Homo-oligomer: A and B are copies of this chain.
């Protein structure tokens, strides 16, 4: 018996979640993907819980209505501020990025001191601190609001970006956290800065990118949802990818490539007010 390939819905405020989609495509190529980027209302990182929750629930409903069987909240801010609300509103399983990131940090740390960088909203929610403290780890959270615009400017290996990173991480690793040995990238834009961040943090620090750990969490969920022992998934050369964006389709194609590493052709404009 051949079973239909599962359809996974991936949601982000914009383009950053494409780094999560990229990790998913590598780990789970035998699925199809819907990606929703709320590009007309990004960024979420500076906005309030109420606003972010409302936007994220709308997007989740949209993906469900388009047959997503599992939702990945690939946006750290939406996960940190609204995962409970999204899970309550959805009728399919929902996977966020915070728990997988915290789990990967717990596996990587030796001295139980972890630094998390993210948007202002993610840090204010203390979602990472709670998830890390639940694993008996000491957490230091630091908001780095300039890193997203620097990535979007394309300055991923620029001297200005390195200075900004040194200022932020100097503060994050100061004051009792000099010996932290894990840095969690609590924002999906940050994986593009990995080479630069490796130069800035002490050599013994492991950088945890929640994209990969989230992909593993999704694979585990799928295993429960569609046990491989019962059915062989329909196999096809490449996953089917469909993208939805609330702002310009042309811009999504242009910027999407930077995050995903290959082209994003099938993009459809969505107006959530309709």
Contact = CB atoms under 8 A, between A and B. Distances in A.
A148 B40 CA distance: 18
Range for the number of chain A residues in contact with chain B: 20 to 34
Contacts of A163: 160, 163
Nearest to A167: B160
Nearest to A271: B54
Main secondary structure of the interface of A (DSSP, over half): loop
Interface in A35-57: 39-41, 46-48, 50-51
Nearest to A144: B153
Contact of A248 (B51, B148, B155, B273): B51
A268 to B, nearest CB: 14
Given A41-B40, A41-B41, A160-B164, A248 B146 contact: no
A251 interface: yes
Interface string A143-176: 0011011101101000010011001000000000
Interface of A: 39-41, 46-48, 50-51, 145-146, 148-150, 152-153, 155, 160, 163-164, 167, 246-248, 251, 273
28 contacts: A39-B47, A40-B41, A40-B47, A40-B51, A41-B41, A46-B152, A47-B248, A48-B247, A48-B248, A48-B251, A50-B248, A51-B246, A51-B247, A51-B248, A145-B149, A145-B152, A145-B153, A146-B149, A146-B150, A146-B153, A146-B155, A148-B149, A149-B149, A160-B160, A160-B163, A160-B167, A163-B163, A273-B273
